[in-house]
Amino acid sequence: MLDPYAKIAEVDPSVQRKLSESLELRAADQEMRTLVTSYLSRLNWSEGMEILEVGCGTGAITRLLAQGPGVRKVTGIDPSAIFIEKANELGEQECVEFVVGDGRELPFADQSFDVVVFHTVLGHVPSPEHFLLEAKSVLKKGGQIAIFDGDYAMRSVAIGEDDPIQACVEIMKKHNTQNPWLVRQLPAMLAAAGFTAIESASHPYLGKNPDYLLNYIERGADRLADLGRITKQTAAALKEEAHQRVRDGRFFGLFPFMSFLAISE
């Protein structure tokens, strides 16, 4: 199966529920929260602002955005009804609303929002340029777009040459993203969509608490087995090797991310 997030509403419900657990696991990681807080702090926060998060998943970032200074309302939209159901279970802020919908055809009036956020979304969708144009249409003049996504091409857990654990990451690069090079192309995409004052920053994630990276490796091992590249026994051995490295203090993981802020004119 290719990137499940690309057509998440069509994915088996049991898989969607498993992915929802992975989303919350990543969001709860303190190192990841530090990276997220770092890029969101660069927004121009103002009194009464309304924010839209496209591809909100289970709403972890939507809930965080609602805590920003001066925020009047945050709307999270996602095509997965299962993700939105989970988001509603977890969301308690009065200023938060979750909607089932598609970022390719946003069900909102033009110039409705002060900020649009794409958090680890554009790397999973075909034709991200279309999503940027939709975002621009619902942004007010002078509104901000914020994007946070992985530099998938640089992800590594290898601790030496020909490290077999790296195969779990490589298969996820191919099957868990539409374009591993997306973040390197985003400045040109944003400019073409009519955004200006484009700023970027890098955010290295080192997996100091390796739970999220172990989850990623395990999913990659399962993917290799599902594709018939390795046996289930080999997949189990790769998972155990990753956990043993953690126990021995030999584990390494580097997942670089980049953030982009730009203005809608």
Output the domain CATH number for residue 184: 3.40.50.150
Q: Is residue 36 part of a domain?
A: yes
Tell me which of 58-62, 109-113, 178-182 is least confident. 178-182
Residue 76 has pLDDT above 70, yes or no: yes
**Is there a domain that residue 218 lies in?**
no
pLDDT tens digit sequence for 152-209: 999 999 999 999 999 999 999 888 788 899 999 999 999 999 999 999 999 999 988 8
Residue 145 counted as domain residue: yes
Domain of 25, in residue numbers? 4-153+178-206+255-264
Residue 59 forms part of a structural domain: yes
- The pLDDT of 229-242, averaged and rounded, is 98
Give me the percent of the chain exceeding a pLDDT of 70.
99
Average pLDDT for residues 210-221, to the nearest whole number? Answer: 92
* Mean pLDDT in residue range 244-250: 96
- Res 252: pLDDT: 96
Average pLDDT score, the chain: 93
How many domains does the chain fold into?
1
**256, 202 in Cβ contact below 8 A?**
yes
Residue bearing the bigger pLDDT, 136 or 177: 136
List, in order, residues 6 or more apart from 188 with CB less than 8 Å away.
none
Determine, yes or no, domain membership for 237.
Answer: no
- Look at residue 262 in the predicted model and tell me its pLDDT: 98
**pLDDT value at 232 more than 50:** yes
Establish if 57 belongs to a structural domain: yes
Longest dimension (CA), the chain: 56
| Residue 71 to residue 188: CA distance in whole angstroms | 30
Confidence of residue 9 (pLDDT cuts 50, 70, 90): confident
Q: Is the pLDDT of residue 250 over 90?
A: yes
Closest CA to 122 of 258, 263, 256: 258
Q: What is the pLDDT of residue 2?
A: 63
pLDDT band for position 11 (cuts 50, 70, 90): confident
Rounded Cα distance between 232 and 230, Å, is: 7
**Which residue do the tokens 């395990």 mark?**
218
Structure tokens at 247: 């126990």
In a domain, 228, yes or no: no
Strongest mean pLDDT among 26-30, 123-127, 252-256 = 252-256
> pLDDT-based confidence at 57, cuts 50/70/90?
very high
Question: Is a pLDDT exceeding 70 seen at residue 1?
Answer: no
Residue 229 — very low, low, confident or very high, per pLDDT cuts 50/70/90?
very high
Position 211 pLDDT exceeds 50: yes
* 229 assigned to some structural domain: no
Average pLDDT, stretch 77-83? Answer: 95
Let me know: does 118 contact 186? Beta carbons within 8 Å.
no
Strand partners, 119: 148
